[in-house]
Structure 1
Amino acid sequence: MFHKVKEVVPLQDMRLCVRFANGSTKEYDVEKLVARFPQFAALEDERLFEEVQVDVGGYGIVWNDDLDLSCDELWKNGVDVKTPFDGLMAFSDASELWGLSESTLRKAVAYGKIEAGIDARKFGKQWVVTQEAMRREYGNPVEVLRLFRCVVIARRGFGFCWPEQGGSTIGVTLLNFAKLLRSLSNERRS
């Protein structure tokens, strides 16, 4: 699983503060790379080091065409940092991780499934939600996607389509998904 990068901020002593799409924040020490790989020695130039930015799609960070780091490296070797915003994520990030539309999340707030002011809050035009609320209502994001893939592979006759590489987004409603799960569980009992 990719841990997409949402934001990167250069810190003192060749360290980076990296915020991920899942709401986690980690600190990454670039000095260790300089010691192991000579090509990273260019980052000792403060101006270049401060030019760090998130790569397109959030799959890493870049300084220039020659220097970059993958999101997996940052996730694996970064050190967790506690912040007041840990566990918060934008609706857009939550919808991507859980495979839901943003309107589904807004409806969950409207119907009280996700409590406004406790589990989610709107700041200007942007909604944020806690990871805890998302897990409580929709389970673990990886498990949900794995379950959905298995169901679709097992029952292609329902007309559901999981996108192949380069395909379009998932075209399934939660109601149809629930019906599909019920029918599969009924078939297992038979």
Structure 2
Amino acid sequence: MLQPKLIKVEPIDSLKLRLYYETGEVKLFDVTPYATGSWYGQLKDEDYFRTVQMLPGGIGIEWPEGQDIAPHELYENSVIVKKTA
């Protein structure tokens, strides 16, 4: 399944991301299961976690050191917070 384009990513408390999609959906994604090991473990640092950036064209997200999460994982493994028609 193709997921809609991401239009905004917002880091919030407890290693969670609020994701805004072109469809009007707002979803919540928990990064906690990904924040393991030495490389992805950097995401446990709250200041570093908040440096998340959206990739050009809304195709995904990444952090300054190159950590990323696949766009389909973001969409499929997040919980809908708000859906607008």
Q: Fold match, TM over 0.5?
A: yes
Aligned CA-pair RMSD:
1.4
Deviations 1:66-113 (A, max 9, x none): 21122211100001102xxx32xxxxxxxxxxxxxxxxxxxxxxxxxx
Q: What TM-score does the superposition give when structure 2 sets the normalisation length?
A: 0.87
- Amino acid corresponding to residue 34 of structure 1 in structure 2: A
Q: Which residue of 1 aligns with 2:17?
A: 16
| Distance in 2 (alpha carbons) for counterparts of 1:65 and 1:45 | 13
Q: TM-score, normalised by structure 1?
A: 0.41
Identify the residue that residue 34 of structure 2 maps to in structure 1: 33
Q: SS in structure 2 opposite 1:74? A: helix
CA distance in structure 2 between the partners assigned to 1:54 and 1:62 by the alignment: 7
Give the Cα–Cα distance (whole angstroms) in 1 for the partners of residues 35 and 43 of structure 2.
8
Which of the pair has the greater relative contact order for Cα pairs under 8 Å at 6+ separation?
A: 2
- 2: distance between equivalents of 1:62 and 1:24? 20
Residue 53 (str. 1) matches residue 53 (str. 2): yes
More helix by share: 1
CA contact (8 A) 2:3 2:75 kept: no
Structure-to-structure mapping, 1:120-135, within 5 angstroms = 131=85
Distance 2:44 2:55 in 1: 20
Matched AA of 1:63: W
Contact 1:3 1:71 (8 Å CA) reproduced? no
Q: SS of 1:27's equivalent? A: strand
Aligned-partner SS, 2:35: helix
Q: Which amino acid aligns with 1:47?
A: D
Aligned residues: percent identity?
Answer: 31
CA distance in 2, matches of 1:65, 1:14: 17
Are the counterparts in 2 of residues 43 and 49 from structure 1 also a CA contact under 8 Å? yes
Structure of greater Rg: 1
- Tell me the amino acid that sits aligned with residue 16 of structure 1: L
How far apart are 1:65 and its partner, in Å? 4.3
Number of equivalences: 83
Residue in 2 aligned with 1:159?
Answer: none
State how 1:45-84 maps to structure 2 within 5 Å: 45-82=45-82
Which runs of 5 or more structure 1 residues have no equivalent in the other structure?
Answer: 88-130, 132-190
TM superposition shift of 1:6:
0.5
The answer as to whether partners of 2:43 and 2:49 remain within 8 angstroms in 1 is yes
